Amino acid sequence: MAKNQPRQFYHRRFHQRQLVKCAPLTLEERGALATILDLIYDQGDAIERDERWLSNQLGCSTRKLRTLLIALTERGFLYITALGQISCREAEAEIAEVAKMQVHWRQAAIQREAAKRAFKGITAKARDCSPTSFTNRRR
């Protein structure tokens, strides 16, 4: 997994957009694209262009993988990064958006816990010094 990138246990998939966008693709290309996108989301970043590993993930030969990658990159669904990795611009944007949201959620949780601790501290002090605590004591 890439540094500072969140691992996504799920990702939004807009079915209508995907159906319209993938209409010109063959069944093999659709399956390859779906699997590669799942691998990108699972890793949280671009995936290595290891043809043997990727062909094993797709369940095809390396020769078929090469033709699928060429077709998907020519049509703009995927691209090869400067480091030679396979990525998708839409997936990168969504992963970056989720990373920002996770930072926001983390900060909100920290503030919420600090408020809880402060409230517990105030109520504990109020309980110790309440007037009823002195009057209800037996002598």
For 67-92, the pLDDT digits (tens) are 999 999 999 999 999 999 999 988 88
Mean pLDDT across the chain, nearest whole number?
81
Domain ranges within the chain, ordered by starting residue = 1-129
* Half-sphere exposure in the Cβ direction for 107 (13 Å, CA): 6
pLDDT of residue 102: 80
The structure tokens 């966008």 sit at 21
pLDDT exceeds cutoff 80 at 34: yes
**What CATH number has the domain spanning 1-129?**
1.10.10.10
State if pTM tops 0.85.
no
